[in-house]
Amino acid sequence: MYTVGHPGPIQAAIDYQSGDFSWVWSLNDAILEARYMDGRRQLSWDLMCWGFTTAEGSMGGWTFKAVAQLCQEAASVISLGGAFQIYNQPQRNGHLTGWHQDIMTEVARFVRARQPWCQGTESVPQVALLHSAAHFYPANGDLLMAKWGGGHTPLVGALHALLENGCAVDVLGEEDLIARLADYPLVVVAEQTHPSPVLIAALTTYVKQGGKLLLSGTHVVKEFGVLAGIEAVGDPIDGHFYLQVGREATTCKGPRQAVVPTTAQPLWMVMNGQEPGFNATAEVTVTLNRVGAGLVLGVHSQFFTHFAGTHYPRSRQLVGEWLMALAPEFIVTLEAPPRVQLILRRQAGRLIAHLFNTGTAHPTAPGQVMIEEVPPVGPITLRIRQAVCPRAVYLAPTMEGLTWSWRNGLLTVKVLQVGILDSVVVETDL
């Protein structure tokens, strides 16, 4: 109840939240589910991974996961402050398979070593990504197992695109988002249809007061047209198209909505081929509108739905260009490969920047479901807005492999390399 597959306000008298991942390609589930459960804040929560997986079409032929894979799945949960467990079956006669226990012992050591910097933390607001019940339920036919109905696909695409651009992201329902809007430098509403009048009014106030808002979808012109500063031109158009990225182009897929700016300025035009300049058209598909002290960037296509199934690098780079156009004032900026995710947390007297390595040594394909090794990645640079010089800065749990300097309110941290989960801990006397 009240997990990604059951969004909406908590109304039943439950004591905690619990859920699990899919048995295969589990990390994608974990990355989304942990953020949504953590975003509720009212309740403690835990997530369970499957200790075993299969590459076969049916639920059979199970094989136990490797240590690296289970540690990676654990990291996705504990870094968000949640409790973690592993699903393991004894044999039918009650016997516990010994080598399974050996693997889980290694995972337990990994988790316990990081517990002091994970447990009892709370998120530092950077990016709020809306998971709207008003969109989710109409988008799914099967409400009992709605999580698998595809209604959250644009949410997944937006989350991955933002994480791969070094953003720390919270996933919030409508009620939680409205209550905490003012805390976030950037809000993203990715192809979330049927917004309530209360949400539209709250987002309008947020932008007028200096907030930065990214909206995407063909519905933006109809439901946020005044806020985005646009009007529609014709009906949505299906098919593939291209958007310029530097001197290159990325492949996108409709439907898309042609618009004409009223108060907005056009930022990106549709291309009918992959050569910038040569294949340019006059059709506006990305706009930027100034409203009061804030900005609204409109992406008038199902961009993040397409990204969820493709993860094209140039599309990721394009999202980075949109973030530069909005220029939200983040506390922390990260320079790292896209496979490193930033999770920004607070603990008494500490700012903690978890660096989560989602990579794998072996190329993945539908028939390759095991992660045997997570190669270290680095060097990595973080720049942290810090008013006073820290008392200490270190890399947990290794306590080595980090250098730092502070000058004029900016803390620069260089990390030699990151394993699966390493944490930059900034301690102050405040």
Looking at residue 300, its amino acid is H
Instruction: Write the DSSP assignment of 390-426 as a string of letters.
Output: -SEEEEETT--SEEEEEETTEEEEEES-B-SEEEEEE
Predicted pLDDT at 143: 66
Q: Would you tell me how many other CB atoms lie within 10 Å of the CB of residue 424? A: 27
Pairing of strands 392-396, 421-427: antiparallel
Helices (H), 181-266: 197-208, 220-223, 225-228
Per DSSP bridges, beta strands 421-427 and 350-357 are antiparallel
Spell out the domains of the chain, with CATH numbers in brackets: 16-120 (3.30.750), 125-326 (3.40.50.880), 332-427 (2.60.40.1180)
**End-to-end CA gap in the chain:** 38
pLDDT one-digit tens code per residue, 323-343: 999 999 999 999 999 999 999
pLDDT of residue 57: 76
Could you tell me the mean pLDDT of each successive run of 10 residues in the chain, 430 residues long?
Answer: 90 92 90 95 91 87 95 98 96 96 98 97 97 90 70 94 98 96 98 96 98 98 96 96 97 96 97 96 97 98 96 98 97 97 95 97 81 95 96 96 96 98 90
